Amino acid sequence: MAARVVELRVHGVSNTPPADILCLTPEPGNDGPTPWLVAGDAMTGFYRSTAPDPAEPVAVEAYSWGQLTSGARTAKDVERALWTALLPFTLANVALHARPDIPADPETERWRDRPGVAAWLIRLFCLSLTGTLVLAATGIGVDLIGWQCVDNHCLRRIPGPWEFLGSGWWGTGAHSLAIGLLVPLGLLTVIGLLTWRTYQYEAAMPAGTGAPDPGPLTNPLQDPTFWCGEGQVRRAAVLHLCTGVVIASAVPLGAVLVMDPPTGGRAILAWSTVSLLAVPLVITLVALGQPYLSRRAGDTPLGPWSALIAVLTLAGLVGTVALLLLPDGPAGIPLADQRPPDGCTLDGGVPGCREDRSLPGFDWIIAWYGTGQAILLLAIGAVSRSGRRALLVPATGVVLIVLGCGWLGGWLPGAPPAPDWLSTPLVAAPAVALAALGLLLPRTPSASGGSPPHRQDGVAWGGCGPAVLAGFGWLLGIAYSAGGLYWATDWLNNGATPSGLSAITPPLPVMWAGLAFLVALVGLALTGLRAWCLFVGLRRRRLAALTRPAAPLSGHDLRRCRDVAAFQALHRLVGGHALRLSGWFAAGTVPLAVAGLAGGLAHTRPVPAQPTGWEVVLKTAVDIGDSLLGWLPVAISGVGLLVYRNDTVRRSVGVLWDVGTFWPRAAHPLAPPSYAERAVPQLQTRTAGLLALPATHSYKADAIILSGHSQGAVISAAVILQMPAQWRRRIWFFSYGCQFTRLYGRVFPAFFGPDRLRTLTAALSHDDGADPDGGGGTDRPGGHAEPGWTNFWRDTDPLGWQVTAGEREVVVRDPAALHPSGGEVTDPPIRNHSGYPEAPEYRRERARVATLLSGAIPAPRAGTG
């Protein structure tokens, strides 16, 4: 009998409606075929036409998953668009999957090996990134509100009845600092509640379909637990949230210990609290490299270590609050006298108002915290590029910083006094620059395979991809934090600029961050200018190729050729230059970050409070940079809201967002949830279910063409690698508009690199060795022996390129012609990234594949449904 073939289409990032996926054209009277939900739900569903064309060689079914991200115009999508505020966490989480040498079998990864060391460093950096936002919230609550906002005029600007903090019992000692802890604790509560909401989909494979092949894994995506990591997310979330509480508690606790050294009973409480807060940090640092956290094992309990950390952290928080609420100790100077004097908000002439009265030590905490993160990023890049031996370079930088600070502090035994000209920035900046030299060490080959011959298909950013991605997340996290601190300072000052004479003073590193952010924007503009120049050159060359005929062209023909040349140039720009341009920008931010950190450690303003001459220009630049930082989170959230409202924004911005949220939260549990944790198991279940249906069922499929567009091709590839072998033999893969080589293959070589991508070709091979029951052949319909994978691409598609992994390549002409034809009066459209199933090349290939798959079907073996 003839096989029944089903084409299962999966859309890309633009959230194509089911009617468009099925190529349904409305007819007059609105009585034409419409999409019909046959499986799933309104969130993620499978659709078929209510009036299928009997002439079509295959039945077409569409899988719609776009509402898992931000592609639908619903109120829930407005809420999901706010996930963009956690973009720094997303980038840091993606860095874990960008390691170039991830072993195919996660059980073989050891923390002492190169991938294990890199994974531990990345998870440690993700933990520190959580602390960055917590430090910003602590600065707002503890420093700006609890410490500096002392008079009623300032306190009235805070929503709610907070005037009690300025007088009475709450206005003495460190009592108000305990209230300030509500801000970081509230932030952690909100993020923690968001983390517990996930798109996890507990898929159940149809009975009799078997399990994924138990043989050796050749691609990490074959790991059966790859998309089932809810237990890992919950355990890691406990570590991150508890670490955030420890950092928030340590700021006021450390300040009080320095300003008012405790004695007697206060000392016992203080140092007991320090011990309670230190133990969770030690356990967390060890747990980050253990299988308890680095392996994905489905929905498992939190475990005793998580409970211990939570209990110790809660006890440390209680001890911190209790110490803050105790009366002042015998330090000699009451804590209230070290705070800004009352009345500075209304009258800046009050004695003491012109001095920096911010929380003592908080500026140093922020500056050294950022310095440590910078060295950690450099260590990640060095290890990813050159192996674990490259850790010697950033480790040397850390040793130099410790020795230099010990020399400056006078506690280095046997060392002469430090010269007067030596300062902290002169110690830290060269040490960080030395650590950056680790990025220039020779690159060692990774275990995932060598680079292909073409430069544009090699590993992105010279093997430093994890550091680049995490670094962009770090810069965004710093920008968010500095912007929040600037906005809160400006609000409490009633519009006075923090860089000028204002009553509430932000941490000094914030001012340096504003100046660095403005310079970074200039660098970004120069990078965009370079991209435009490349685009113009590419377009000129493509236009020359299109206008080669000697006959003169009309104005219409010239405009038409110019339009086609623009899309072809964009295709080459994105495929051959985009990652290199972003790498140049990342390299330019390294000296900028070092200079900003040195300025923060200098504990001075980038511009005097009362500038004169050219300093006025610098002050204006600082104010502009700080203002832009304050609006950055709002701007990014606004773009997130536009993603579901504007198709152009959706296609341009959504591709980056969907790449980031495709990967599971294996490094940063507070990142937005992975939509693939639902989409991949659900599509896998549907594919196997159609093949396992009884022969009498109307939806029964003997073979399936799994057709993925753009990001849908990535989802489909993950599904195929998770499928048991007996079902892969009945699947043919269509990919079009996909980024396997120029984007995924370069940024994520351990999953889609040249060697790892051939695993997908082998999995779809129609002659992949002996069958599991001991026979010598396969159960492929028709018995043909070619890879079951066809890739379509256009030279006008910015996101679609050749794959060159042993699959069949089909070039789709676009546009179909330069002039109207077939009785049309308008030019054929330039499809670029859309409309592949409507192309004649696609239809011919589908007919050919349907013929191959429609051969005689042998009787199914046991265990194949």
Higher pLDDT, 806 or 314: 314
- What is the H or E stretch that residue 704 is in? strand 703-709
Higher pLDDT, 170 or 465: 465
Written as six digits, the tokens of 747 are: 């940024």
Q: Which of 188-202, 374-388, 838-852 has the lowest mean pLDDT?
A: 188-202
Residue 856's pLDDT is what?
A: 44
Secondary structure of residue 210 in the 3-state scheme: coil
Q: Could you tell me the pLDDT band of residue 645, with boundaries at 50, 70 and 90?
A: low
| Average confidence (pLDDT) over 447-458 | 51
Residue 432: partners with Cβ closer than 8 Å, 6 or more residues away: 371, 374, 375, 378, 397, 594, 597
Q: How many residues does the chain have?
A: 865
Q: Could you tell me the pLDDT band of residue 541, with boundaries at 50, 70 and 90?
A: very high
State CA 639 to chain mean position distance: 16
Written as six digits, the tokens of 91 are: 């980038």
Residue 285: partners with Cβ closer than 8 Å, 6 or more residues away: 124
| pLDDT over 90 (residue 777) | no
Q: What percent of the chain has pLDDT over 70?
A: 85
Higher pLDDT, 494 or 457: 494
At 543-557, the pLDDT tens digits run: 998 887 666 778 888
At 273-293, the pLDDT tens digits run: 999 999 999 999 999 988 878
| Average confidence (pLDDT) over 769-793 | 59
Written as six digits, the tokens of 612 are: 């004169």
Residue 2's pLDDT is what?
A: 60
Higher pLDDT, 502 or 585: 585
| pLDDT over 90 (residue 455) | no
Q: Which of 190-204, 212-226, 685-699, 793-807 has the lowest mean pLDDT?
A: 190-204
Q: What percent of the chain has pLDDT over 90?
A: 42
Residue 795's pLDDT is what?
A: 94
The closest of 476, 426, 382 to 597, measured between CA atoms, is 426
At residue 109's C-alpha, the angle toward residues 108 and 114, to 5°, is 135
Higher pLDDT, 50 or 503: 50
The closest of 365, 345, 340 to 355, measured between CA atoms, is 340
| pLDDT over 80 (residue 239) | yes
Residue 846's pLDDT is what?
A: 94
Residue 776's pLDDT is what?
A: 38
Higher pLDDT, 162 or 533: 533
Residue 647's pLDDT is what?
A: 61
Residue 771's pLDDT is what?
A: 42
| pLDDT over 90 (residue 538) | yes
Q: CA-to-CA distance for 343 and 150, rounded, in angstroms? A: 8
| Average confidence (pLDDT) over 428-437 | 90
| pLDDT over 90 (residue 229) | no
Yes or no: say if 47 and 24 are a contact pair by the CB < 8 Å rule: no
At 289-325, the pLDDT tens digits run: 888 788 887 656 566 788 899 999 999 999 999 999 9
Integer angstrom CA distances of residue 290 from 89, 190, 376: 21, 28, 19
Q: Which of 379-388, 501-510, 808-817 has the lowest mean pLDDT?
A: 501-510
Residue 861's pLDDT is what?
A: 39
Residue 862's pLDDT is what?
A: 38
Written as six digits, the tokens of 352 are: 């003491």
pTM: 0.91
At 1-46, the pLDDT tens digits run: 467 899 999 998 877 889 889 988 776 666 678 899 999 888 889 9
| pLDDT over 80 (residue 542) | yes
At 386-397, the pLDDT tens digits run: 998 999 999 999
Q: How high does pLDDT run on average in the chain? A: 84
Q: Which of 73-77, 485-489, 749-753 has the lowest mean pLDDT?
A: 73-77
Yes or no: say if 260 and 331 are a contact pair by the CB < 8 Å rule: yes
At 156-170, the pLDDT tens digits run: 888 878 788 877 788
SS (H, E, C) 273-330: HHHHHHHHHHHHHHHCCCHHHHCCCCCCCCCHHHHHHHHHHHHHHHHHHHHHHCCCCC
Q: Which of 189-203, 470-484, 672-686, 706-720 has the lowest mean pLDDT?
A: 189-203
| Average confidence (pLDDT) over 426-430 | 88
Q: Which of 431-435, 777-781, 801-805 has the lowest mean pLDDT?
A: 777-781
**Peptide linkage before 815 cis (omega within 30 of 0):** yes
- What is the H or E stretch that residue 94 is in? helix 87-97
Residue 368's pLDDT is what?
A: 94
Q: What is the DSSP letter of 709?
A: E
Residue 450's pLDDT is what?
A: 45
At 257-267, the pLDDT tens digits run: 988 888 888 89
Q: Which of 12-16, 57-61, 593-597, 776-780 has the lowest mean pLDDT?
A: 776-780
At 400-421, the pLDDT tens digits run: 999 998 888 888 888 888 888 8
| Average confidence (pLDDT) over 238-244 | 95
Q: Which of 62-66, 320-324, 334-338, 391-395 has the lowest mean pLDDT?
A: 334-338
Q: CA-to-CA distance for 293 and 447, rounded, in angstroms? A: 23
Name the most confidently modeled range: 132-141, 598-607, 693-702. Answer: 132-141
Identity of the residue numbered 20 = D
The tally of CA atoms less than 13 A away on the side-chain side of residue 356 is: 16
Yes or no: say if 353 and 340 are a contact pair by the CB < 8 Å rule: yes
| Average confidence (pLDDT) over 116-136 | 96
Q: CA-to-CA distance for 808 and 805, rounded, in angstroms? A: 9
